[in-house]
Amino acid sequence: MTRQETTPPRIPTARVHPLDPPPELSEMRGRCPLAPLTYADGHQGWIVTSHLLARQVLSDSRFSSNPRIRHSAVHDVLGDGQPPEEDVPGMFVGMDPPEHTKYRRLLTGELSTRRMREMEPKIAAVAHELIDRMQADGADGADLVTGFAMPLPSRVICDLLGIRYADWRDIQPVSEKMLRIDSSAAEVKECYRIIFEFLANVVGLKQKEPGDDLLSGLVQSAELSDVELTSVAFQLFTAGHETTANMFSLGTYTLLTHPEQLAALRADAGLMNSTVEELLRYLTVIQFGISRGAAEDVELGGQTVRAGQTVTVSLPAANRDPQRFTEPDRFDIRRVPSGNVAFGFGVHQCVAQQLARAELRIGFQVLLDRLPGLRLAVPADQVRMRDGAIVYGCQELPVAW
């Protein structure tokens, strides 16, 4: 086979160390930070592995989020192809400005600094309650994923949207299945339908009996149709718990396997903000990155991305770029935060990043304060990781205190 006939590789997925992205990603970045990539359906696209090009792609309006133009960084890259996209009004994650801007503006208003500040005591109260329960239930240990990491952000998102937590518990397994790359296209589609229907009912309830939650606020602003409201709820709901939950499990694992860093944090709570930023950078739980489709030919990194081609932006690779971060593979809670892309970049940058940061800051503080003897209950190499999940983290995290 000549060099030209060689099929470009698929996205690297095999980790050697549980806390480091697949080593091929750094090799790619060193060789060619914009490299050809083959997608699951045979599409010949690209992958970006440098911090500079990642930000360039994500802030260039010629790269679209429209699912009709781009292949998904996840199901199309790894699985059996994304379920056929339907045009559901209000799915702003897949829109470009100016359509995207309307939803973004509404949400920015609802996720105001004031609302975030109001939520802080609630987040702390839920964190304490969960630890009370773990201590009451278990002798001197528990699975931190089911006891703390998953329920904390889930209860926060339920509170934010005005969903009863008991109802959420029924739907959570569906949400988890939807985000697994080994779920088939038909399964993903069915999960999507079930969650959408569940949230449509919640929207109906808010219209009859509005509360002081975000969804009621959007209902009352009367700017969105019922389907748009359900779509907005859907995006917040699905993006809002797995990400933060896995940051808690994997973040705790990271701290417990870096005892000198944990000791420094315990000794100086003032390091919590930089610890959270460093965990976001170092772990970058959206492990297969995000994608954009070229709406026209674009010159990028000395090459031409043709109209219609998809570029996957590897957020984990960008966050380990030595051109941007000194000794990027070192976990260092004293590192001065320097524009990591764990929340993405550009117009779609995570709309709830302030909420996520507050949850992580408060959640970790309560966890460390309440459990001074916190430690792994099994050897570190026996902790099972979520290798096949869109959002990386720990499958379970057995801890003792």
Give the residues lining the site for ligand HEM (CB under 6 A). 65, 92-93, 104, 157, 235-236, 239-240, 243-244, 247, 285-286, 290, 342-344, 348, 350-352, 355-356
Closest separation between CB of residue 233 and ligand HEM, Å?
10
- Residue with smaller CB distance to ligand HEM, 183 or 238: 238
- Residue with smaller CB distance to ligand HEM, 65 or 175: 65
- Residue with smaller CB distance to ligand HEM, 74 or 191: 74
- Residue with smaller CB distance to ligand HEM, 135 or 353: 353
Give how far Cα 203 sits from Cα of 62, 76, 162, Å.
35, 31, 10
- Residue with smaller CB distance to ligand HEM, 348 or 386: 348
Closest separation between CB of residue 211 and ligand HEM, Å?
17
- Residue with smaller CB distance to ligand HEM, 110 or 332: 110
Closest separation between CB of residue 77 and ligand HEM, Å?
14
- Residue with smaller CB distance to ligand HEM, 104 or 138: 104
Q: How far apart are CA 255 and CA 278, in angstroms?
A: 11
- Residue with smaller CB distance to ligand HEM, 235 or 252: 235
What does the angle CA 265 – CA 272 – CA 381 come to, to the nearest 5 degrees? 60
Closest separation between CB of residue 255 and ligand HEM, Å?
16
Closest separation between CB of residue 247 and ligand HEM, Å?
4
Closest separation between CB of residue 379 and ligand HEM, Å?
27
Closest separation between CB of residue 245 and ligand HEM, Å?
9
Closest separation between CB of residue 246 and ligand HEM, Å?
8
